[in-house]
Amino acid sequence: MAATTEQEGRDRTAGRRPRPKRGPVAGTFAVIGELLITAGLVLGLFVVYSLWWTNVIADKEAHKQADQVRKHWAQAPPAGQDGKAPSFDTKDGIGFLHVPSMKNGEVLIKKGTGVPVLNQGVAGYYTKPVKSALPWDKTGNVTLAAHRDGHGAKFHNIHKVKVGDPIVVETRDVWYVYKVYKILPSTSKYNVNVIQQIPKESGKTKPGRYLTLTTCTPMYTSDYRYIVWSQLVRTQKVDKNRTPPPELR
């Protein structure tokens, strides 16, 4: 009869079966399992950071910048007294975007669509590859982009926008009211035709006063672009109480 080890003797004395020795293969799988669990936790934390914490940071920064813009508006002299177009194109922002069907509140509009700009939780107007018009231009296409997920996710609910819905741009002196006339749920990220000054892909063939929203799609990816086209239907002068137009009430 083979001699038992000291450990086996103790196990039998205690009424327990001897613990099997862990072979090299089992040990390897155990290590891999622990690594996978750790990787899963790290990935989970990254998702929380990307989809929640970046929103918190961006929203805080956007609110701060929005307050600064409104402060500047209150301090600036009346625009247009010299007969020229209002000068709102400042580094702080040109105004605010309101899209009731997206339920995203007011969104500050700033110059540029690069990551440093959009990560501030704002909507940016294109400077390239096709330069955006501005709301007060007599003709052209005001082309805007914003994140759909993370960093404020101002266009997260763009899929809830329907044809006929209003889109309003608020500047210091004028409310610009647009009406959605066409939606393109998916197109190539390289399709610059959707932001042309005459958006022919939307069916338009003549100069007008358009506004286009662009963002990534599907959700949580950046593979394609979601496009919403709208056209100016009227303007409304801002009164002393900044009473919003009926479309926003």
State how far the Cα of 137 lies from the Cα of 211, in Å rounded to an integer. 12
Is 72 considered catalytic here? no
Is 63 considered catalytic here? no
State how far the Cα of 230 lies from the Cα of 213, in Å rounded to an integer. 8
**How far is residue 31 from each of residues 41, 44, 107, measured CA to CA in Å?**
16, 20, 48
Q: Point out the catalytic residue in the list 147, 151, 156, 159.
A: 147
Angle at CA 168, nearest 5°, toward 122 and 172? 75
Q: Point out the catalytic residue in the list 98, 151, 159, 216.
A: 216
Closest CA to 145 of 227, 209, 220, 231: 227
Neighbours of 2 (CB within 10 A): 4
Active-site residue list: 147, 216
